[in-house]
Chain A
Amino acid sequence: MKQTGDNGKAQRFGMVIDLDKCTGCGSCMVACQAENNVPFREDESDKTLSITWMRIYRLTNGKSFPDAEICYLPRPCQHCDGLHEGHSPCVSVCPATATDYDGLTGIVSQIYTRCFGCRYCMAACPYHARHFNWWDPVWPKGMEQYLNPDISVRMRGIVEKCGFCFQRYQKALEKAHMQGRRELEEHEYQTSCTQACPAGAIVFGDLRNPHHKVHQLAQPDFKKHGRPKNPMAFRLLEELGTNTKIYYLSSKKWVREAGHNPSVMDKPEEHH
């Protein structure tokens, strides 16, 4: 049974994050943590040990007052496609196929029961979107009652990461099937961070579906590995060929240039 989107093609779920709207409030991080049973420790001051599927970076233009500018950049897993489908930096290196690329949705998954904790995927990911469980999760007394039953908690010694709230996709798909539908409406599958963002900075949907807002905002050119046609849009480290499905919008040139190197990206276009 082939599952397809409503435009008859395999879906490519992705995100557009408008950095002009993001206030850095952290709601997306909290929502993500609650939705996905992300563990935390009493002392989270060392951020290199924190499990943050969604992490907010604070960018500055390096200038002093009054020219100083700040931008907050939320960074979930970038769900890279690579230069040929499924050749994500992490998927291609995992020795035990514990991280996989779903050809129907474009989601890079993590199979927690198969990961044996070699951490090669973490070394290969330039976005630091992958996190290792250095400790077994310990929940404050009573909090285990609040855990989401739709997603397993992870044990010590394995890697975890953002899966675009895949459990929500499965639930929405089940519901649609019960109603005799094969496809999902745009609103039926939304990630927790998208819904939690008070500024509406995060938009989620099928990048290949022209009716979806993400497609309209990013205007991905799939003949050029999804490179955005929208001049305000960019993808992190686009020049490495990771071909991510997270698009960022910013009206500020310095922000766009902090995210990728346009001088490198423009070269192929000039040649062809």
Chain B
Amino acid sequence: MDSALIPKGVKRCSFFQFMGGLGVVSLVLLWGVYAMLLCWIKGLNQTNMNDYYGFALWIWADLGVIALGGGAFFTGLMKYVFGKDELKHIINFAVLIGFICYSSALLILAIDVGQPLRSWYIFWHANVHSMLTEVAFCLSCYFAVLTIEYIPLILENRQIDKVPFWHNLSHNMHTYMAVFAATGAFLSFFHQGSLGGVAGVMFGRPFAFREHLFIWPWTFFLFTWSAASYGPCFTIWLVRITEKITGKKLVRETAIQLLAKLAGWMMFTYIIAKIIDTIYWATVTVPGMGFTLADFYTNNAFYGYWILFAELVLCGVVPALMLVTPKIRQNPIGLFIAVTLGVIGVSLNRWVMVLQALAIPVMSFDQWVLYIPSWQEVATTILPVAYGVILVMISYRYLPVFPNEAELNPLAPETPPVVEAQTEEDGETQDAPEPEMAPAEA
């Protein structure tokens, strides 16, 4: 039914099978939309947040998806600025994932604030000293950049590309893509960093607070660094999952290996910096503020030293070593385990910087407060996941997201009956032969 929209040279499931899958995911999406409407109509009393947990699951999800979406800016930076041309085989997917992550983050923020209609005050009454202001500005600008990066991919749809205007627009956008990639990397440095700064500047919260370099706490640099390290892991992780679901090899292994290697070395250097930061924080910063490390990891039912070990060692040192070791990286299972651990690691880091920071009592006569999200919070957090799956499904079906797909999965030579079938298509065969899906520039 929709074969005219599907890129040439690739095979897709039947339209009804596709719609069936879309329908199932849409049900999850609708569940999330219902919860979202409840939050907007009835207010944030629909959540289990309270005056101790002003930031909770949503802010974690926000920080998480922005870190995981870091694969887009890092891949773009490596390809366009540092000339790692091999990454052109994965850049489209990285941009798509980045677009999904950042649009999800904006959606979650729109649900999270108490007065969404006043959100523009952050720009109008901007407090230039607030890290959140920097986040808002850079995040919005970078989302615009990601949209610009995603548009050429849409324009490469078989039917849209036939229109000369769209074809030329797409071509011209490709010409300037390096400028957008560089802008994206610049903006990402600041918003990833300022998200780290959100926690690091809170000098009333010794768990989150870090020493500064000029106006930037160490978390500023660590967040950017970790997004550049773990974001590509998420891109690779999703490539592998998509390959598993479609049963096809979608990206050239050389591109995956190069990205994994770069991510591995970034992670290796990041985790060294993070360990140094943790040691300095635990031995100098925290005692200087009248606390001990034990104050943050004992006397409560959930947060123990295990979480520190899991973040730094199990999901930090281990995947970093796995990715920088060629033998393990080149092993499909080894690579998948490493990127999975990486994805968990950065999610854990964002979790502790948001939720553990607020769980810890600061006044000696105060107490630990733990929190379990309400179903509305869970549903609205799953909502962007469902939205992401839908966008990947649609993009994969109709757009050249994986430029090597046709080459890596050659279709069986067409037999005469197929030729007959082609003539039945509504006028398509009258057109000049279209090129098969070729590597895109972005």
What residues of chain A have their CB less than 8 Å away from a CB belonging to chain B? 46, 48-50, 57, 59, 73, 89, 92-98, 114-120, 122-128, 130-136, 155-159, 236-237, 239-242, 257-261, 263-264
The CA-CA distance from A59 to B365 in the complex, in Å, is: 6
Asked whether A114 lies within 8 Å of B114 as measured between CB atoms, the reply is no
**24 A-B residue pairs with CB within 8 Å:** A89-B204, A93-B129, A93-B131, A93-B132, A95-B135, A97-B127, A115-B118, A116-B114, A116-B121, A116-B122, A118-B112, A118-B113, A123-B202, A124-B204, A126-B362, A126-B363, A127-B363, A128-B366, A131-B51, A134-B43, A156-B43, A236-B363, A239-B290, A240-B289
Asked whether B290 lies within 8 Å of A128 as measured between CB atoms, the reply is no
Chain A residue contacts of B132, Cβ below 8 A: 93, 95, 118, 120
* Residue B130 CB within 8 A of the other chain: yes
CB-CB contacts of B111-125 with A at 8 A, as 1s and 0s? 011111011011011
Q: Is the interface of A mostly helix, strand, loop or mixed?
A: loop
A-B contact count (CB 8 A): 160
Chain B residue contacts of A50, Cβ below 8 A: 51
Chain B residue contacts of A94, Cβ below 8 A: 127, 130
Chain B residue contacts of A124, Cβ below 8 A: 202, 204-205
CB-CB contacts of B46-65 with A at 8 A, as 1s and 0s? 00011111110000000000
Asked whether A157 lies within 8 Å of B114 as measured between CB atoms, the reply is yes
Q: A95-B122, A96-B125, A114-B121 are in contact. Are A123 and B205 (CB under 8 A)?
A: yes
Q: A96-B126, A117-B114, A118-B113 are in contact. Are A157 and B54 (CB under 8 A)?
A: no
9 pairs of A and B residues whose beta carbons are closest in the complex: A117-B114, A157-B114, A261-B290, A119-B54, A122-B54, A126-B204, A116-B118, A48-B50, A126-B362
Closest-by-CB residue of A relative to B120 is: A116
Given A124-B202, A260-B290, A264-B290: 17 more A-B contacts, CB < 8 Å = A48-B51, A48-B53, A57-B366, A73-B365, A89-B202, A89-B204, A93-B130, A95-B122, A96-B127, A98-B121, A114-B125, A126-B362, A155-B115, A156-B43, A157-B115, A240-B362, A242-B204
Asked whether B115 lies within 8 Å of A117 as measured between CB atoms, the reply is yes
- Distance to closest chain B CB from A121 (angstroms): 8
What residues of chain B have their CB less than 8 Å away from a CB belonging to chain A? 43-45, 49-55, 112-116, 118-119, 121-122, 124-127, 129-133, 135-136, 198, 201-206, 287-290, 357-358, 362-366, 369
The CA-CA distance from A50 to B51 in the complex, in Å, is: 8
- Distance to closest chain A CB from B419 (angstroms): 61
Q: A93-B132, A116-B114 are in contact. Are A48 and B52 (CB under 8 A)?
A: yes
Closest-by-CB residue of B relative to A260 is: B290
User: Looking at the complex, which one of B114, B205, B369 makes contact with A119 (CB distance below 8 Å)?
Assistant: B114
Asked whether B362 lies within 8 Å of A130 as measured between CB atoms, the reply is no
Chain A residue contacts of B49, Cβ below 8 A: 132, 134
Residue of B113, B136, B204, B358 contacting most chain A CB atoms (<10 Å): B204
User: Looking at the complex, which one of A97, A131, A134, A240 makes contact with B204 (CB distance below 8 Å)?
Assistant: A240
- Distance to closest chain B CB from A116 (angstroms): 4
Chain A residue contacts of B112, Cβ below 8 A: 118
Closest-by-CB residue of A relative to B205 is: A126
Asked whether A120 lies within 8 Å of B198 as measured between CB atoms, the reply is yes
Q: A94-B127, A132-B44, A134-B43 are in contact. Are A46 and B114 (CB under 8 A)?
A: no
User: Looking at the complex, which one of A116, A122, A236, A241 makes contact with B51 (CB distance below 8 Å)?
Assistant: A122
Asked whether B204 lies within 8 Å of A125 as measured between CB atoms, the reply is yes
Chain B residue contacts of A46, Cβ below 8 A: 50
Chain B residue contacts of A48, Cβ below 8 A: 50-53, 369
The CA-CA distance from A73 to B363 in the complex, in Å, is: 12
The CA-CA distance from A117 to B39 in the complex, in Å, is: 13
The CA-CA distance from A73 to B215 in the complex, in Å, is: 35
Asked whether A98 lies within 8 Å of B125 as measured between CB atoms, the reply is yes
- Distance to closest chain A CB from B396 (angstroms): 35
The CA-CA distance from A236 to B136 in the complex, in Å, is: 33
The CA-CA distance from A69 to B126 in the complex, in Å, is: 48
Asked whether A116 lies within 8 Å of B129 as measured between CB atoms, the reply is no
Chain A residue contacts of B129, Cβ below 8 A: 92-93
The CA-CA distance from A131 to B54 in the complex, in Å, is: 9
The CA-CA distance from A204 to B232 in the complex, in Å, is: 57
Closest-by-CB residue of B relative to A80 is: B204
- Distance to closest chain B CB from A153 (angstroms): 15
Chain B residue contacts of A135, Cβ below 8 A: 43, 45
Asked whether B203 lies within 8 Å of A241 as measured between CB atoms, the reply is yes
Asked whether B205 lies within 8 Å of A158 as measured between CB atoms, the reply is no
Chain A residue contacts of B198, Cβ below 8 A: 93, 120
Chain A residue contacts of B288, Cβ below 8 A: 264
Asked whether B43 lies within 8 Å of A158 as measured between CB atoms, the reply is no
Asked whether A134 lies within 8 Å of B130 as measured between CB atoms, the reply is no
Closest-by-CB residue of B relative to A130 is: B51
The CA-CA distance from A4 to B50 in the complex, in Å, is: 39
Chain A residue contacts of B358, Cβ below 8 A: 123
Chain A residue contacts of B136, Cβ below 8 A: 95
- Distance to closest chain B CB from A133 (angstroms): 7
Residue of B49, B130, B287 contacting most chain A CB atoms (<10 Å): B130
